[in-house]
Amino acid sequence: MAKTGIVTDPLCLEHEMGRLHPETPKRLQVLLDLVSSKDVTKLSVESITARPAEQEEITRVHDEAYFRRVMGTQGRVVVMDLDTTAGPRSFEAAMMGAGCGIVATDAVVGGRVKNAIAIPRPPGHHAEPSRSMGFCLFNNVAVAVMHAKEALGMKKIAIVDFDLHHGNGTQKAFYKDKSVLYLSTHQYPFFPGTGAPEEVGEGDGVGTSINIPLAAGHGDHEYEAIYGGLIPRILEQFKPDIIFVSAGYDIGGGDPLGLMDVTAQGFGRITTYLRAAADRLCDGRMVVVVEGGYSLTALHDGVFASIKGLVGKGKGPAKGKLDDLHIGDARRYLSTYRQFFKLK
């Protein structure tokens, strides 16, 4: 059995938002080139053929009226919101992008591979049930999570989101759902304006939205402390059946939209920590879904490091500890979360 599956499709190149838009087809092309290179194919990986999502798979997350709105963009250019445009083939690309996450989930839960990375486009975690936002049309990770729940019988699911921006769409989709834990680290205050520590869920879902807002300027040391310390503790108490990761490479140094400074080695260690948690808690079942990342170099190097981390070829854990964090509001969010989790 190949250890790590890779799911992507060149149809996702067909999504266009304009020549000067940062979410460009070049982002996917550098990753298509990467996964077909000898650097990746020599690893213990398996390329898995994608398929488009079906309407009923999308509408487990998104309203039917919103689905029809996106479908209605075919063959024309439609401005969806202030920073998101659908081009003539964006609907097809978005359906294939969501399908990448579904196929990766099937491969992991079905035992074909131990873990997997889906490389869709457009990204997804800002897309809310009834609207597009932040370059996103359909919420790829949320669609995959609902597939795991509804079609594959996963009872408890964790989503870890390390994108630069808070995944408002993913949080909203599961804000009242106690069976889905949403954990996010993100630059704050920043777009989209959500992700404060006090956003902990509603109703039955209280305690299952965990937001760790970070001031700009953090790098490997702080991220390793969080992903090597705090997040594994919470995952161990939640005991998920599968872990999904919204992987945003816009926390990489030099990204034009962000002010974080994570290196390729840092991305490898984040992935290694999460893979180790999946190995301990859910037989290794983990699906990584690529989100943002607008420096082509940081995106390429970060995804390559993540693939090596999934395979088990990443660098070993560093010495980052939760006590070493230099985050102004650390006491604030730890105080909020102690009511739900046993944190020292």
Q: Which of 32, 40, 29, 38 is nearest to 307 (CA)?
A: 40
| DSSP tag of 316 | P
Looking at 62, 125, 126, 165, which residue is catalytic? 126
Tokens 């490898």 correspond to: 268
A 10 A CB-CB count for 190 gives 18
Strands 84-86 and 78-81: antiparallel
The verdict on whether 126 is a catalytic residue reads yes
Do 240 and 198 contact (CB within 8 A), yes or no? no
Q: Which of 5, 4, 13 is nearest to 33 (CA)?
A: 13
Q: How far is CA 137 from the centre of its chain?
A: 15
Task: Give the burial class of 46: count Cβ atoms within 10 A of its Cβ; 0-12 exposed, 13-18 middle, 19 or more buried.
Answer: middle
Distances (CA, A) of 147 to 10, 151, 211: 23, 5, 24
Phi first, then psi: give them for residue 116, nearest 5 degrees.
-155, 160
Strands 115-119 and 286-290: parallel
Q: Which of 134, 78, 82, 124 is nearest to 100 (CA)?
A: 124
Task: Give the burial class of 258: count Cβ atoms within 10 A of its Cβ; 0-12 exposed, 13-18 middle, 19 or more buried.
Answer: buried
Which helix (H) or strand (E) segment is 8 a member of? strand 4-8
Do 170 and 62 contact (CB within 8 A), yes or no? no
Catalytic machinery residues: 126
